[in-house]
Amino acid sequence: MTLCAPAKINLSLSVLGKRPDGFHAIESHFVTLTLADTLTLEAASESGIAFTCSDATLPCDDSNLVVRAARRFFETARIPAAVRIHLAKAIPHGAGLGGGSSDAAATLRGLNALHGAPLAAETLHALAAELGSDVPFFLAGGSAVCRGRGELIEPLPFPTPLPLLLVKPPFGVPTPWAYSRWRDSHEIPGVPYAPQRFPWGTLVNGLERPVFEKYLFLAVLKRWLLQQPEAAGALMSGSGSTCFAVLRNETGGPALEARAKEQFGDVWTCLCRTRAA
């Protein structure tokens, strides 16, 4: 069985304050992308969870969300674990694109299908919420407004396919750190934080303030993207470190991608689209 695990961007992200459980309450518009990882699952004759990954920098033990998701599935379904899972990575990690969360959700969906759907949708959602705040969204993907700490999901039709350029520097941003700095952070003069309004929605991210304070490169990157003629808007996704430009049209993407690489050097880039009709 082969499954697609799509990336996401946050078109909007508002941090509403800290909750009693230590997490921060958010309201965010998530939308999935054509950029995706690929998971291959097959039943094994030998017992256990045999996990491999195309990215040698990622762990293949219980610290990987795919392995943790598989283990929780078998424990909850009360089925002996006997599966081989291979993850082909296309989404960079530490990017604010939800790759690990999407991989975990695909693992839950795939194992449930592979074993005849022993777990109800509500149980899968509860397992997903245990694994991480973004994982429940990826069980269905598409477009949704996510609230609470991300586990309260309201599907939102989004028929406009947006062409995008994603740009990620060679460093990541720790999500817990970004939220911990949110309350005490300040805007940097000259950096654009204001909401960018379009017929299809609004681009705004409350985590840009703390992240840009420490990672000035991202503030410079976003400002540069907004100055380019091919870009209708630009924003940091999630807690970073990816920034994305919404393109005026797809034809301008390759030229902007080439200029971004020339301007910033060692950056990962990807031309893709939203897919959330």
Are residue 223 and residue 205 in the same domain, yes or no?
A: yes
The mean pLDDT value of the chain amounts to: 95
Pairwise CA distance, residues 268 & 247, whole Å: 17
Are residue 126 and residue 92 in the same domain, yes or no?
A: yes
Q: Which residues of 22-56 are buried (b: 16+ CB within 10 A; e: fewer)?
A: eebbbbbbbbbbbbbbbbebeeeeeeebbbebeee
In sequence order, what DSSP letters do the residues of 70-86 get, joined into one string? HHHHHHHHT---EEEEE
Active site residue 37: no
Rg (CA), the chain: 19
Considering the candidates 89, 103, 134, 222, report the single residue annotated as catalytic: 134
Are residue 133 and residue 216 in the same domain, yes or no?
A: no
Closest alpha carbon to 167 in 79, 80, 105, 259: 259
Domain of 102? 2-154
Are residue 58 and residue 38 in the same domain, yes or no?
A: yes
Active site residue 222: no
The domain boundary residue, chosen from 154, 180, 210: 154
Are residue 212 and residue 127 in the same domain, yes or no?
A: no
pLDDT tens-place string over residues 230-240: 999 999 999 99
Q: How far is CA 266 from CA 90, 107, 244, in A?
A: 17, 32, 16
The 3 state secondary structure assigned to 36-50 is EEEEEEEECCCCEEE
Are residue 129 and residue 226 in the same domain, yes or no?
A: no
Question: What is the residue whose two structure tokens read 């870009």?
Answer: 231
Are residue 146 and residue 11 in the same domain, yes or no?
A: yes
- Which distant-in-sequence residues (6+ apart) come within 8 Å of 28 by Cβ? 10, 12, 13, 14, 145, 146, 147, 150
pLDDT given at position 2: 97
List the structure tokens of 246. Answer: 């919404």
pLDDT tens-place string over residues 136-192: 999 999 999 999 888 899 999 998 899 999 999 999 999 899 999 999 999 999 999
pTM of the model: 0.94
pLDDT given at position 29: 97
List the structure tokens of 109. Answer: 């969906």
Residue 277, pLDDT > 60, answer no
Question: What is the residue whose two structure tokens read 């040698």?
Answer: 56
Number of domains in the chain: 2
Pick from 15-24, 32-41, 82-91, 121-130: least confident: 15-24
Are residue 147 and residue 180 in the same domain, yes or no?
A: no
Are residue 217 and residue 256 in the same domain, yes or no?
A: yes
**At 14, which helix (H) or strand (E)?**
strand 2-18
The domain boundary residue, chosen from 113, 133, 154: 154
Are residue 94 and residue 126 in the same domain, yes or no?
A: yes
DSSP H helical ranges for the chain: 65-77, 99-114, 121-131, 135-140, 175-180, 208-214, 216-226, 253-264
Are residue 140 and residue 184 in the same domain, yes or no?
A: no
- Give the chain's largest Cα–Cα span: 61
Considering the candidates 8, 89, 168, 222, report the single residue annotated as catalytic: 8
Are residue 19 and residue 147 in the same domain, yes or no?
A: yes
Closest alpha carbon to 212 in 229, 230, 228, 234: 234
